[in-house]
């Protein structure tokens, strides 16, 4: 086989690994989706996104081909930055804190069944504890979706790809949130990071 044929075969194999991923990026730094803003986003590589506004918040809904969701999201964040319009990606529009109902919706099970997973009445047991709203006077508890996704994967209820996607989205959102806090409250962010960091060493 010639070198050219090998290269072409490799290119075809790489192309086959691409999948389309749907996700939404929430933006900050701009208040209007003017024609100039939309043109700049299009030219920077966001031609696979639909710009929209809701309650004064701009967002981009993407359908992007990439080997994994993580790659699609990171490349889209880079393209928004390249548009040079003053926009920043605030977060991926997926919440990592989920209610019992949200868990049921995401995995296509009934709320009652998820409740039984949580209490141990059904399933393998050891469902992860909630991360938020755990006090007696709080509303319904909320779980980290990453924790739930890991439990689901360990019990053959979701694929490894779904787990990796959940972990990637959570981490990217954490980093985006930290960057946002550094810009809006730089002194406080520095103080908190130094305080917590010194105690985690």
Measured CA to CA, the distance from residue 149 to residue 158 in angstroms comes to 7
Residue with structure tokens 């039984």?
116
Lowest mean pLDDT among 12-16, 17-21, 190-194: 12-16
Instruction: Report the mean per-residue pLDDT for the chain.
Output: 91
If you count them, how many residues does the chain have? 201
Asked whether the predicted pLDDT for residue 64 surpasses 50, the reply is: yes
Q: How many percent of the chain have pLDDT more than 70?
A: 91
| Structure confidence at residue 5 (pLDDT) | 46
The pairing of strands 88-92 and 57-66 is: unpaired
Measured CA to CA, the distance from residue 124 to residue 105 in angstroms comes to 20
Give domain limits for the chain.
Answer: 1-93, 95-201
The residue-averaged pLDDT of 81-105 equals 95
Residue with structure tokens 């003053």?
86
CATH number of 1-93: 3.30.70
**What tens digit of pLDDT does each residue of 139-196 get?**
889 999 999 999 999 999 999 999 999 999 999 999 999 999 999 999 999 999 888 8
Asked whether the predicted pLDDT for residue 6 surpasses 50, the reply is: no
Instruction: Find residue 66's DSSP bridge partners.
Output: 19
Single pTM value for the model: 0.84
């Amino acid at each position: 086989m010639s070198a050219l044929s090998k290269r072409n075969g490799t290119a075809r194999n790489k192309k086959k690994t691409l999948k389309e991923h749907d996700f939404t990026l929430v933006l900050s730094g701009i208040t209007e989706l003017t024609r100039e803003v939309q043109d700049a986003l299009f030219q920077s590589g966001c031609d696979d996104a639909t710009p929209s506004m809701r309650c004064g918040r701009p967002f981009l809904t993407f359908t992007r081909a990439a080997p994994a969701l993580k790659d699609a999201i990171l490349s889209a964040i880079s393209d928004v930055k390249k548009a040079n319009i003053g926009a920043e990606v605030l977060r991926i529009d997926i919440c990592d804190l989920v209610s019992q109902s949200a868990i049921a919706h995401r995995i296509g099970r009934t709320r009652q069944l998820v409740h039984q997973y949580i209490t141990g009445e059904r399933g393998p047991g050891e469902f992860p504890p909630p991360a938020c709203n755990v006090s007696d006077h709080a509303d319904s508890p909320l779980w980290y979706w990453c924790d739930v996704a890991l439990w689901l994967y360990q019990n053959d209820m979701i694929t490894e790809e779904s787990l990796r996607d959940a972990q990637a989205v959570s981490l990217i959102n954490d980093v985006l949130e930290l960057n946002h806090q550094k810009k809006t409250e730089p002194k406080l962010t520095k103080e908190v990071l130094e305080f917590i960091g010194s105690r985690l060493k």
